Structure 1
Amino acid sequence: MTTTVLSSPARYVQGAGAIADLAEHVGKLGGTPLVVSDDTVWGIVGEAVGRSFEAAGTPLVRVGFGRFATPGAVDELKERIEADGHDVIVGVGGGSTIDAAKAAGHLAGIRWASVPTAASSDAPTSALSVIYSEEGEFLEYRFFPRNPDLVLIDTQLVANAPVQFLQAGIGDALATWIEARAARRGQGSTMAGGRPTHAGTALAELSWKLLHENALLALDAVRAKVVTPALEAVVEANTLLSGLGFESGGLAAAHAIHNGLTAAPQTHGLTHGQKVNLGSIAQLVLEGAPAEEIEEFIVFTTQVGLPNSLTEVGLTPEHTAELRAVAEAATAEGETIHNMPFPVTADLVVQALVAVEGISRRIRAEYGLDAPELHVAEH
């Protein structure tokens, strides 16, 4: 494949209080929107969304959502769209809510909007959804011919959310540059359907740079529940830059290992970004990255509060059956690990995961760093 493709949402809106303008933006897409949001998120944003729709004179119809974007959840939303004649679907909340809304909108042939209430992943901007089983195991990627018509993120909502959501988004976004540079050396295609663009690769690197300059200050802002320039930069890095970077720059081993980790029940309580971070370190080991780069990554992600050894995700080197299952899933046909610039087998993945345990423990001990204290939270 020699063509390159850049894929992006039609409009991206970010800022403190942006939720107040949601109906104005959605009104440009359709007149009978269906809003999808779980009960927890709706308890936080429902009043503000209601005021926005009332001020715009737009009817507000909201349907609840469960935990995962499953095939059944997507089909139920499609049926609701068709039964009630909605012309735009708006996913409000976490990644699975948004993924289900995108997939249902595509099936129903209507427009769709992503409204993340935390900067916890780069999924909102993409033209794909990640589909899981009822138990949270990765099933498939679903690809769409276009990206969301609107992505809107209110940075005050991000500041008010639990800090672990921003930590997870940082973990997801840090993988973007690690994977994009590997994909560019390899011969695979991106999620956008072509070879990596220079733009996608550059945006992935910019995301990496902004995170290293601003992540710790942004986490401080969220702990204080305030919006600062550092938080604005990290929200853009986590959501827009990482989203464009992974989709048009390329995925590689880190996300494939994340997908493999969903096969281990011990990891089901962890966020996407927490699992991806372990995949990033395993990829660095797989590709023989310089020792100082691995060291810097482990120190930085420990300071951020992300897991960087098997222990933190509930596994050990002695969990041989689970690690084999993870590695087999990560190297399945069609997985993004095959975008690496060299062949990767399940045996190599197992060896990298086992090696990570000792590497991370040694480096944290040398720097006097305790293992990150992880919190599991639903959104």
Structure 2
Amino acid sequence: MSARTLISPGRYVQGRGALSRLGEYLAQLGSAPLVVADDVVWGFAGHDVEASLRAADLPVRREGFGGMPTAGEVDRLVSVIRAWEADVVLAVGGGSTIDAVKAAGFLAGTRWATCPTVASTDAPCSALSVIYTEDGGFSEYRFFPRNPDLVLVDSQVVANAPAEFLVAGVGDALATWLEARATAQSGSATMAGGAPTVAGTALAQLSWDVLWDNAVAAVDAVRDHQVTPAVERVIEANTLLSGLGFESGGLAAAHAVHNGLTAVAATHGLAHGQKVNLGSLTQLVLEGAPRSDIREFVEFTTQLGLPTTLTETGLRTDDPDTLRTVADAATAPGETIHAMPFEVRSEDVFAALVSVERLARRIRADAKLPEPVPHQAHGS
């Protein structure tokens, strides 16, 4: 049996105004940083980043981001890091920027740090990157020998972003416990390269509990760009607890279904956490979870604005070929769905996906929740 393993970032910092201390913490990692941020992020965060770095007597050198963590974009960033002779590279932005920077930092042989401006994924803390194809499909996971040296989250910056980002992060983080408990049952290896620890599994469950208690209040507060205790807890659950929980607790069906969804153009334009939420519901169906558990999950995540039907991800039950493409990709060799405590075949995922539509619609109707709105993919 594999040794039990727990991995984590070197330092995690979170709070309102934390960006003002970025230079202080970054100076402990290197003297020649390179900041990677797209133009939109730099427009609202660049001034504070520059001020903090200058206060710590660090040079301000910023490189743009191409928008997608593809192999080509990672290689481009490696060349920039080497050209600047940077000794630490910092990602400022969302999960795509962060994944590209972690992969580039590893290949360039430098240290890396993350400064998420949204709490929409658990990418900031992990020692892996999700790499996509040029057209937005899942390509591969890349694993690294260490986590980021620093994760710094300014809660006010997160609260200033559209609330939909926080909602997507909740969708991603809710899957953490569902997948960790499945991994614990099966005894499969985690993304950390070993058997799950009690601590990793417990952190995954804590993420779930915090979100059920605080997510609705936090989303309401962020719609008014306010930082409340509920917002702080949800940021931590989405970023730290989910980050540690998924990596050291394990991934299973929910993220595999997400990866399958990226294989079809109809879902493009949806956030990572939106697709993961449909994956979580699909996993519950695959497990034969009690109807009460499924009902509560559908009602809770629908109220938050997360998709719980195929319709909301651009898919249809009368398009079996597309659904089979999703199911085949979700069950490909090496996919995390094989960490479930029972065998899952492509036809099982197909059946679960089809059943989700009618099941979720019935639950939503009984709870007097809104009818699903069809998702329109980019370019459609």
Alpha-carbon shift at residue 376 of structure 1 (Å):
9.4
Looking at structure 2, the residues matched to 20 and 318 of structure 1 have their Cα atoms a distance apart, in angstroms, of 53
Looking at structure 1, the residues matched to 323 and 194 of structure 2 have their Cα atoms a distance apart, in angstroms, of 32
Indicate the residue corresponding to 2:126 in structure 1. 126
Indicate the residue corresponding to 2:286 in structure 1. 286
Q: Deviations over 1:5-35 (max 9, x none)?
A: 0010000000011111111111100000010
SS of match in other structure, 2:317: coil
SS of match in other structure, 2:90: strand
Indicate the residue corresponding to 1:345 in structure 2. 345
Indicate the residue corresponding to 2:249 in structure 1. 249
Taking a change above 3 Å as real, the CA distance of residues 65 and 20 of structure 1, as seen in their structure-2 partners, is same
Looking at structure 1, the residues matched to 313 and 211 of structure 2 have their Cα atoms a distance apart, in angstroms, of 23
State yes or no: 1:274 paired with 2:274: yes
SS of match in other structure, 1:90: strand
Question: Is the Cα–Cα contact under 8 Å of residues 306 and 374 in structure 1 kept in the other structure?
Answer: no
Indicate the residue corresponding to 1:329 in structure 2. 329
Looking at structure 2, the residues matched to 339 and 280 of structure 1 have their Cα atoms a distance apart, in angstroms, of 14
Question: Is the Cα–Cα contact under 8 Å of residues 14 and 155 in structure 1 kept in the other structure?
Answer: yes
183-192 or 342-351, larger mean C-alpha shift: 183-192
Looking at structure 1, the residues matched to 164 and 66 of structure 2 have their Cα atoms a distance apart, in angstroms, of 20
SS of match in other structure, 2:96: helix
Alpha-carbon shift at residue 371 of structure 1 (Å):
3.7
State yes or no: 1:142 paired with 2:142: yes
RMSD: 1.4
Runs of 4+ deviating beyond 3 Å: 371-378
Taking a change above 3 Å as real, the CA distance of residues 373 and 225 of structure 1, as seen in their structure-2 partners, is farther
1:328 partner letter: D
Alpha-carbon shift at residue 188 of structure 1 (Å):
1.7
1:97-176 pair list within 5 angstroms: 97-176=97-176
Alpha-carbon shift at residue 84 of structure 1 (Å):
1.7
SS of match in other structure, 1:65: coil
Alpha-carbon shift at residue 374 of structure 1 (Å):
8.9
TM-score normalised by length of structure 2: 0.98
State yes or no: 1:208 paired with 2:241: no
Looking at structure 1, the residues matched to 371 and 245 of structure 2 have their Cα atoms a distance apart, in angstroms, of 29
Indicate the residue corresponding to 2:17 in structure 1. 17
SS of match in other structure, 1:316: coil
Alpha-carbon shift at residue 372 of structure 1 (Å):
6.1
State yes or no: 1:187 paired with 2:205: no
* Count of residue pairs the alignment pairs up: 378
2:189 partner letter: S
Looking at structure 2, the residues matched to 377 and 351 of structure 1 have their Cα atoms a distance apart, in angstroms, of 23
Indicate the residue corresponding to 2:234 in structure 1. 234
Alpha-carbon shift at residue 135 of structure 1 (Å):
1.1
TM-score normalised by length of structure 1: 0.98
Is there any run of 5+ residues in structure 2 with no aligned partner, and where? none
Indicate the residue corresponding to 2:37 in structure 1. 37
Question: Is the Cα–Cα contact under 8 Å of residues 255 and 279 in structure 2 kept in the other structure?
Answer: yes
Looking at structure 2, the residues matched to 318 and 4 of structure 1 have their Cα atoms a distance apart, in angstroms, of 44
Alpha-carbon shift at residue 2 of structure 1 (Å):
3.2
Alpha-carbon shift at residue 319 of structure 1 (Å):
1.6
Looking at structure 2, the residues matched to 51 and 134 of structure 1 have their Cα atoms a distance apart, in angstroms, of 35
Indicate the residue corresponding to 1:73 in structure 2. 73
Question: Is the Cα–Cα contact under 8 Å of residues 305 and 373 in structure 1 kept in the other structure?
Answer: no
Indicate the residue corresponding to 2:299 in structure 1. 299
Looking at structure 2, the residues matched to 375 and 43 of structure 1 have their Cα atoms a distance apart, in angstroms, of 29
Question: Is the Cα–Cα contact under 8 Å of residues 9 and 147 in structure 2 kept in the other structure?
Answer: yes
Looking at structure 1, the residues matched to 331 and 371 of structure 2 have their Cα atoms a distance apart, in angstroms, of 28
State yes or no: 1:218 paired with 2:226: no
Q: Deviations over 1:341-368 (max 9, x none)?
A: 0000000000000000001000000010
Indicate the residue corresponding to 1:361 in structure 2. 361
Taking a change above 3 Å as real, the CA distance of residues 301 and 321 of structure 1, as seen in their structure-2 partners, is same
Alpha-carbon shift at residue 130 of structure 1 (Å):
0.3
